[in-house]
Amino acid sequence: AAESFNHKKFFEMVGLKKKSPEDVKKVFHILDKDRSGFIEEEELKFVLKGFTPEGRDLSDKETKALLAAGDKDGDGKIGADEFATLVAES
């Protein structure tokens, strides 16, 4: 349902929290569609589709909340280390 996305519950539900650091990095690279080394806001919108083709797009509000939770250095994108921290904190 729209506006129901919770990254902590989601990472737990897909088992990401229990994955090894190497596996978390692999997931990061899958989500980093443009291979920039960062997950930008535009890529975050499609995070659910990275796990299931039937996944919906996140709303702008959900995308911004996820970006805010993961972007520790305030550069407007999530790097691999920030992604690993985001998963670990969930």
| DSSP labels, 4-33 | ---HHHHHHHTTGGGS-HHHHHHHHHHH-T
The answer to whether the Cα torsion of 2, 8, 71, 43 is positive or negative is: negative
pLDDT for residue 1: 67
Q: Residues at the annotated binding site?
A: 32, 34, 36, 38, 43, 71, 73, 75, 77, 82
The C-alpha atoms of residue 43 and residue 45 are separated, in whole angstroms, by 5
Q: Residues at the annotated binding site for Ca(2+)?
A: 32, 34, 36, 38, 43, 71, 73, 75, 77, 82
- Coil, helix or strand for 62? helix
Q: pLDDT tens track of the chain, all 90 residues?
A: 678 899 999 999 889 989 999 999 999 999 999 999 999 999 999 998 888 888 899 999 999 999 999 999 999 999 999 999 999 988
pLDDT for residue 8: 92
pLDDT for residue 17: 87
Fold of 7-89: Recoverin; domain 1 (1.10.238)
pLDDT for residue 21: 93
